[in-house]
Amino acid sequence: MLTYFLCLILFCVGLYAIVRKRNIIKIIIGIIICEYAVNLFLALFAYKMNGRSPIYSPRQEIVNMVDPLPQALALTSIVIGLATTALLVGIAIRIYEKYGTFDITKINRLKG
Amino acid sequence: MKAKNNSDNKGMSLIVKTVTRIFVGLILLYGIYIVLHGHVSPGGGFAGGFIIALSYILFMLAFGKEEILKRIPERMISILESLGVIMFLVIALLGFSGGYFFYNWLPKGMPFKLLSAGTIPISNVALALLEVSLGLFGIFLVLVLLKFAPKKDLEKDEE
Amino acid sequence: MLEINFLLIFIILGALVAINVKDLLSAVVAVGASGLGLCITFLMLKAPDLAITQLVVEILCLAILIRATARDDLPFSTSGRWLFNTVATCLFLAVFLYAGYQALKNLPVFGSPVMRVSEFFLNEASQKTHATNLVSAINLNFRAYDTLGEATVLFAAAIGVMSVMRKKARKKLGEKDEG
């Protein structure tokens, strides 16, 4: 329970950065932290007490494996996170080239 | 010889270049190992593809942008990416020979051997092609876009 | 599992430093430290596939972000509504935390997952595919539709990156026309 709650706090830290910060790079960092929290939650949910990795060994029988399904889902999620980050950074650099700043409020002012 | 002369003035110092020349091949080999052994040990196409991409990034950081652009043009990366996606789809479509989409149509072999598990190793290779091209695209984005940023800064300063 | 709690606190501290420090480069480095802590946590949660992928993706992500932030731009500007914004955000986060806490009460206890679907995978995946890495077997055989969708998303992201890159070429053509 405490572990899940710490994971929720990590998500809230990322959400605070997304909502409150004005620098675009800081917002991207907040999105990255949110992705960490979600992947971590999937891996936490799969954990079984005193479990083993879901990989068979040729020498011994392995019982009491952890849940492999959320791990498979988190694996795709991590890779998609990188693709999203690359796209966001590209758009941020474009914005910097056009407006000369990373501040989102100044971008609004220059547009009007 | 010619490459050595060319790279002397660009990129990092001689020590970094020599160490990079030794280690890039090893990192590339490790990435290929992780991709090919994805079904018997931890790893797989996701991690191995990015390790292969990271070896090219190390090369780029040590030798400069021009060297890597000469060796892997942008067109080749888009071909690689399309090849990965088409390979994955063809593997899935060939499953109709056994009944349904994503059917494991290859012989399965013995467990714990390299050639086992039917279509899973080939799918790992297809995914690795996708990841390599994605990582290189990310780096190319930074590399190409940053070339034009200082000019804009100068214009701002003049204004 | 006390170690996992300590590692989580380390990750949270890294994230707090990352969003509060003024220098952008330091923020990116703090995110990197937090991500490496996440990698160790995955390893302790018995997910080696996730740990390897997280490590590699973290390094690549860091390289992209460092190249993007290597310029001097003043990141902080506090205007008149600083207090109102902070109070509103903190109120929202408090409500969010309370709702999340109530929702977390209904989850099974940490360390004993439900595993209703995974029972099938654990019993039969190895016999059916002869792959010994179960995560790989699930990803590429049983739930390959997920991976196909993921490939679609990656392809779309790569096309987006290409279009962002292409915009520069078009602008260059336009500049030539003006000149």
ipTM of the prediction:
0.88
Residue B159: the pLDDT is 41
Q: Whole-number mean pLDDT of chain A?
A: 84
Residue C46: the pLDDT is 87
Please check whether residue C137 lies inside any domain of the structure. no
Q: Are residues C15 and C52 in the same domain?
A: yes
Chain A residue with Cα closest to C59: A82
Q: What Cα–Cα distance (Å) separates residue B53 from each residue in B57, C57, C58?
A: 6, 10, 13
List chains adjacent to chain B, taking adjacency as at least 3 C-beta pairs closer than 8 Å.
A, C
In three-state secondary structure terms, C112 is coil
Q: Which residues of A touch B149 (CB under 8 A)?
A: 93, 96-97
- Taking the Cβ of residue B46 and every Cβ of chain C, the question of whether any pair is shorter than 8 Å is answered with yes
pLDDT one-digit tens code per residue, B22-34:
899 999 999 899 8
- Give the structural domain span for B13: 2-158
Q: State the Rg of chain C over Cα.
A: 23
List alpha helices for chain C, DSSP H.
2-20, 24-44, 48-69, 82-104, 118-129, 134-137, 144-178
Tell me the CB-side half-sphere exposure of residue B63, using CA atoms within 13 A: 23
CATH number of residue A37's parent domain:
1.10.287.3510
Torsion (CA) C110, C111, C113, C115 in degrees, nearest 10: 170
Chain B residue with Cα closest to A96: B149
Residue B7: the pLDDT is 47
What is the domain count for chain C?
3
**pTM for the whole structure:** 0.86
What is the domain count for chain B?
1
pLDDT one-digit tens code per residue, A61-70:
778 888 888 8
What is the domain count for chain A?
1
Q: Are residues C49 and C101 in the same domain?
A: no
Each residue's pLDDT expressed in tens, for chain C with a length of 179 residues: 788 889 999 999 999 998 888 888 888 899 999 999 999 999 988 888 889 989 988 888 888 888 777 666 555 555 557 788 888 888 999 999 999 989 888 888 887 888 788 888 888 877 777 888 888 888 888 888 888 888 888 888 888 887 877 655 555 555 554 43
- Final residue of a domain: which of C32, C48, C72? C72
| Angle CA B109–B115–B117, to nearest 5 | 55
How far apart are the CA of B69 and the nearest CA of chain A, in angstroms? 19
- Give the structural domain span for C23: 1-72
Mean pLDDT of A61-90: 86
Residue C40: the pLDDT is 92
Please check whether residue A57 lies inside any domain of the structure. no
* Least CB–CB distance from C151: residue in B88, B102, B110: B88
How far apart are the CA of A61 and the nearest CA of chain C, in angstroms? 12
- Give the structural domain span for A77: 2-51+65-111
- List, for chain B, all residue ranges whose pLDDT scores fall below the cut of 50: 1-2, 7, 148-152, 154-159
Identity of residue C87:
V
The C-alpha atoms of residue A45 and residue A67 are separated, in whole angstroms, by 8
The C-alpha atoms of residue C113 and residue C100 are separated, in whole angstroms, by 19
| Among candidate residues B59, B47, B55, the one with its CA nearest the CA of residue B27 | B55
The C-alpha atoms of residue A63 and residue B39 are separated, in whole angstroms, by 19
